Structure 1
Amino acid sequence: MSDVRESEGLTLLGNQGTSYPTDYDPGVLETFQNNHLDRDYMVTFRCPEFTTLCPITGQPDFATLYINYIPHIRMVESKSLKLYLFSFRNHGDFHEDVTNVIVNDLAKLMEPKYLEVRGLFYPRGGISIYPFANWAHPDFGYAELARTRMFEQLSDLDRGDGTR
């Protein structure tokens, strides 16, 4: 296992002395090699304890994030993703901005074939906000999926839990 970590440059996986970032830090993200380049498949992360701060009031905002992607050559390592998402805890940004920042950071990091992030932010003041952002690599034919998913996700939310 340690040989794999070293060859992939994974510094966080299995590290018992993990330090948690106190503000937004995309530098904690790490990747590893996709060993299944012969097929397309979807990876899904459900992050039910995401928190960030309102940039105006400083009050905490809580959400469940869903991150789906079709990997290309590199994949995001889950512990680094956890630390990256934790780094938003003291960061002030609007829900829509946070969702787009995550898409931008992960697209830049991995260059996946397709990527989407859905934020299900819990109500504050009686209103829930569910931002959705996606990205399709221009070389793999997922642009139509990106357009379609932009509006399909609205019907998913009718179920009330934001899942399919």
Structure 2
Amino acid sequence: MNKNLRETSHEIIEVFDAPDSEGDQVYSFKTDELTALCPFDFGGPDYYVLTLRYTPTDDCIESKSLKKYIQSFRDTEISAESLGAKMFNTIQKTVEPKKLYVRLEQARRGGVEETVEIGDVSLRPNS
């Protein structure tokens, strides 16, 4: 592990010290590489666009470890609602940010789009 990274209570996500700043910083991650298995009759993969935004307190999320965390759901049967809640809770416990916002946009299936938003909506992009 890089000497600037620290292990956390989470098995995958690593953190590093947030830089000092007089103003609030907002960090954003966005990816369309999040997939999980539908827990219902469909049984196939669900595809998501994940938006993660946070204002750090002391720690920042290391991006490579976040990617591994995102990939860890690939073979997990989980609903969009549960996935959003799990990701929010894990990141909240790991980084303890001042503000946190998680958005999952599930790819359209059967003509229906689903979006799950959890956290501080003041961090919603374009809000």
TM-score norm. by structure 1 comes to: 0.69
Q: Corresponding residue for 1:82?
A: 67
Number of equivalent positions: 123
Q: Corresponding residue for 1:35?
A: 19
**Structure 2 counterpart SS, 1:51:** strand
Q: Corresponding residue for 1:56?
A: 40
**Which stretch of the first structure deviates more once superposed, 96-105 or 26-35?**
26-35
Q: Corresponding residue for 1:95?
A: 80
Structure number with the higher strand fraction is: 2
Distance 2:97 2:73 in 1: 23
- Give the residue type in structure 2 aligned to 1:98: L
Q: For 2:57, which of 57, 61, 72 is the aligned residue? A: 72
Q: 8 Å contact 1:8–1:32 — kept in the other structure?
A: yes
What do residues 99-119 of structure 1 show as CA deviations (whole Å, max 9, x unaligned)?
A: 111000000000000001001
Q: 8 Å contact 1:65–1:119 — kept in the other structure?
A: yes
Distance 1:37 1:107 in 2: 21
Please, which runs of 5 or more residues in structure 2 have no aligned partner?
none
Please, which runs of 5 or more residues in structure 1 have no aligned partner?
11-25, 135-145, 154-162
Distance 2:64 2:73 in 1: 15
What do residues 110-130 of structure 1 show as CA deviations (whole Å, max 9, x unaligned)?
A: 000000100111111111100
Structure number with the higher helix fraction is: 1
Distance 1:106 1:96 in 2: 16
Q: 8 Å contact 2:84–2:118 — kept in the other structure?
A: yes
| Two-structure CA RMSD over aligned residues (Å) | 2.0
